[in-house]
Structure 1
C-alpha cells in the first residue's frame, strides 16, 4: 500500500493508523501547495481532487477520504481493536465520532488556515471551535480514549486536527480532559513514529 500525505495535514491520521495496525506501507509526500510529488509528478494525475490523504491499495485501487481510509486500515488488523466490528452499534458510534471530527472540528479549522479569511470570520470560527471543545472536554471526563478502553482510529483523527489549535490561535487551556487525552495519544509509540517520519518531531 501507498499513503499519499503532506506533513502535519489530516493525512497524519491514517499514517498513525497504519503504524498502530502494524501494516507495511510506502509513504509518498504530495505537497498541498504545489500539488506535486517530490519527483515532480503532478499529484492531480493521481487524485483529481488534489488533496490528501489517498491510499493506494496493492491492486492499484485508490481510497480517498480520511474516515473511509481509517476504517479500511482498522479492518485489516481487527486484532488491534482500532475499530469495532462492522454491523455493531459501536461501529456506528465510531462513524458518529468520525463524522463529528470531520465536520465540526476538521472543517472548523479550515478557515483559520486561509489567508483570505477575514479576521472577523476567524473570530467566529475560533468561537465555534471553542464551543465544540467545551463539549468534547465533558465527553472525555473519566475516559482514557474517545470510545472507552481501546485507542481507536477516531483518537488518531481527533489528535491530528487538535494539533492545529496552537498554530491557529485556538486556546485549549480551559479543557483539561482534552489536554490530558492529547498528551496520552501523543505519547503512543505509533504516533511518535508517524510524526517523526513526517518531520514533526526531532
Structure 2
C-alpha cells in the first residue's frame, strides 16, 4: 500500500473518536469473517441505516475493506443482490507527532540485509544504494522536491545556504545507530535531490533537534 499523507492518517484515526464508529470498528475487527450491515446493526443494537453509515465511513477512511458476495448458495434470477461485506484492512495506520517514518527505514534496511545475505556483498554499500534508489522513487512519485521532503517527514525550511530539515523521520533509530542511519539518510536525500534534478547537495551536518543532513545550494546543477 502506498504511503498515505499525514493528513489522511490523522483523519483515519480521528474517525475512531466517535463512540459508535469505534464500536463498529471493534466489532468488525474481532469478527471471524467479513461482516454484513445487518449483522453489525444487530450486534450493536442500532438501525441498519446507522450501521451502514459507520461502516462506510470506516471504509472511506481506509480502515475497512469492502467486498460484495451472496450470503447463500442461490444463483440466477431471484437470488437477490450480493451483500456488501466489511473486514478490517491489513494495513496499519500510524500517526506520530512529529512525523516519523520507521516503516521506511525498516523496509530499506530489511531489503539491504536480504540482498547482502544472498549476494555476500557488504551491507553498508547495499544500504546506501538501496536508500539512494528509494529516494529517486519517492521524488518520481511527487510533484517536486519540497513535496517529497514534506511527505517523507523532513520538514524542510529555506535558509541562505539551502534547506534545513527540521525533523528526522528516523529520530529514535538515528540516536541509537547514528552512523548507520545518518548514512542511510544522506543517500536517501541524494536520491531525492538527484531524482528531482534540484539544485541542492546533501551534506552531513549533525545538530540537535533536526536531521543530520542539510541540503546546500549547488550552483553546478
Structure whose residues are more often strand by fraction = 2
State TM-score, norm by structure 2: 0.27
Which entry has the higher C-alpha Rg, 1 or 2? 2
More contact order relative to length (CA 8 Å, sep ≥ 6): 1
